[in-house]
Structure 1
Amino acid sequence: MTETTAHAEQPAETSSGTGTGSRSETALERYLRFWNAVTEPEQRRLAASTFTDGVEYRAEIGILSGAQALMDFRNQFVGHVGTASLRHRERPQIHHDRARVKWEILVGDGEGTSFAAGTDVIVLDDDGRISSVTAFLDRAPEGFDPAAHH
């Protein structure tokens, strides 16, 4: 996923009044940049500042634990589909230690072609790092068989 096509123009909406909005917004910006990072050093740097050591990622494809597993998943994906980028479909919503991020994956050069769309529910720790992600597919990729991943 390429960083150049990432879209995060607007700050996240917050409704908590807890003062954690800025930290959460920063974490969500880093999260988007992580998925779009091209080089391994950039991925590692972003992973270290974005995720807790034991971050857990739950999606149709399975449960992944740790930043390295997320990096491997991301790199296998772009190895399979080629150039890809993740972008927000709308402003993330944040309250307390939770965020809801609606995203779309574009594949191909330029503006790309929509591959899939989904929603991530993210849990943030007290330091504003992501401790877990639950990913839902709002629009699965063409030909996706969720039963093949159980």
Structure 2
Amino acid sequence: MTPHEQQAGRPTPEPSRYADAVARYFEAWNATGEDALGKAVAGAFTEEGRYTDPLADVAGHEGIAAVIAGAHEQFPGFVFRPLGDVEGHHDIARFGWELVAVADGSAPVAGFDVVRLAEDGRIRSVLGFLDRVPAA
């Protein structure tokens, strides 16, 4: 523990905490079927979790699951995958991602998200940014 962490009275979370939270996040975004999606969202997000990006601002498991289901409807046959490493400090992590077509590997959508974690390691909030989107 560094002197700064000792002064603050709390250690900085281990890097695996961030990676584990982001892995559960991608499990939720790639879950299909209502039951699997509900379980994955509950495993990744707190009950009052919030998801905000340029296209959505929702809270709670039902709202988050609806946004994810909408993405699956808009992009059938696509999966979300991480881009690069997860970086984190305190209770915050950031990471890049892209939406990839299973059939040909094309990735028309990409962005990065910043998440805030709860004590139990689940996500309390997401701030999402879109870096690449398909032309209208």
Greater gyration radius: 2
TM-score between both structures, scaled by the size of structure 1: 0.77
Is 2:116 the partner of 1:123? yes
Letter aligned with residue 55 of structure 2: I
- 1:27–1:130 contact (8 Å) kept in structure 2: yes
Identity level (%): 31
Aligned twin of 1:134:
127
Aligned twin of 2:84:
90
2: CA distance between counterparts of 1:88 and 1:74?
A: 16
- 2:13–2:89 contact (8 Å) kept in structure 1: no
Structure 1 residues 13-51: Cα deviation after superposition (integer angstroms, max 9, x where no partner): xxx962333332211111011101112222122211210
Q: Which has the higher contact order (CA 8 A, sep 6+)?
A: 1
Q: Following TM superposition, where does structure 1 have runs of at least 4 consecutive aligned residues deviating by more than 6 angstroms? A: none
Structure 1 residues 56-81: Cα deviation after superposition (integer angstroms, max 9, x where no partner): 11111131111211211121222222
Letter aligned with residue 86 of structure 2: P
How many pairs were matched up? 127
Aligned twin of 1:57:
51
Aligned twin of 1:11:
none
2: CA distance between counterparts of 1:54 and 1:69?
A: 10
CA RMSD of aligned residues (A): 1.7
